[in-house]
């Protein structure tokens, strides 16, 4: 085992998952590098290239990180996916961090911390991004007024929508619609 592999085990580094697995010889269990189980003593650890290799060596898969299942997601990853799905389904509604947390039966603090760590943006930023993408589609494909688009994607006023839209896209909604119409006319 090299120092990089040991660092990944100690720091529970998810970027090393799939590159190698580690077995703890004293317990007979093998894990992914990102497993949150107690850090073993270095001299008790053996590195494996695959889960099958660890199984053939007589080790059992960890019940926490389930290294033998390729489709397995951590509870935090599952939560992030549920947040993304809830936002995709309900973005026109007035969603707050507290409302999302309540619907998913977790604390707002835990939800914020978990989602931000995994997605590199807060739930609020993801919600705004989702609303702006939906607004772009409506602006390009419909003749709805700016205020109607704002209401359909979850903004309370056209003015606030225009402010957020400009901040995200560097264009006003009207400029975006004009560019979309121009591009549509250029294509046969």
Active-site positions? 31
**CA–CA distance, 2 with 122 (Å, rounded to integer):** 35
CA–CA gap between residue 32 and residue 171 (Å, rounded): 45
Of 30, 35, 29, nearest in space to 16 by CA = 35
Task: Give the DSSP letter string of 17-73.
Answer: BTTBEEEETTTTEEE-TT--SPPPPGGGEEEESSHHHHHHTTPEEPTTT-TT-TT--
Dihedral sign, Cα of residue 102, residue 104, residue 106, residue 107: negative
Rounded to an integer, what distance in angstroms lies between the CA atom of residue 31 and that of residue 114?
A: 22
């Amino acid at each position: 085992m090299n120092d990089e592999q040991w660092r990944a085990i100690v720091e529970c580094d998810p970027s090393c998952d799939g590159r190698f697995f580690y077995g703890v010889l004293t317990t007979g269990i093998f894990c992914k590098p990102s497993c949150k189980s107690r850090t073993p003593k270095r001299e008790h650890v053996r590195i494996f290239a695959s889960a099958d290799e660890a199984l053939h060596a007589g080790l059992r898969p960890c019940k926490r990180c389930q290294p033998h299942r390729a489709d397995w997601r951590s509870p935090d990853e599952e939560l992030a996916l549920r947040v993304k799905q809830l936002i995709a389904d309900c973005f026109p509604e007035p969603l707050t961090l507290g409302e999302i947390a309540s619907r998913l039966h977790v604390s707002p603090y835990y939800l914020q911390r978990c989602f931000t760590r995994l997605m590199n943006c807060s739930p609020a930023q993801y919600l705004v991004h989702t609303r702006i993408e939906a607004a772009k589609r409506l602006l390009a494909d419909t003749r709805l007024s700016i205020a109607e688009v704002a209401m359909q994607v979850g903004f309370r006023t056209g003015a606030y929508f225009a402010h957020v839209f400009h901040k995200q896209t560097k264009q006003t909604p009207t400029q975006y619609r004009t560019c979309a119409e121009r591009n549509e006319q250029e294509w046969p």
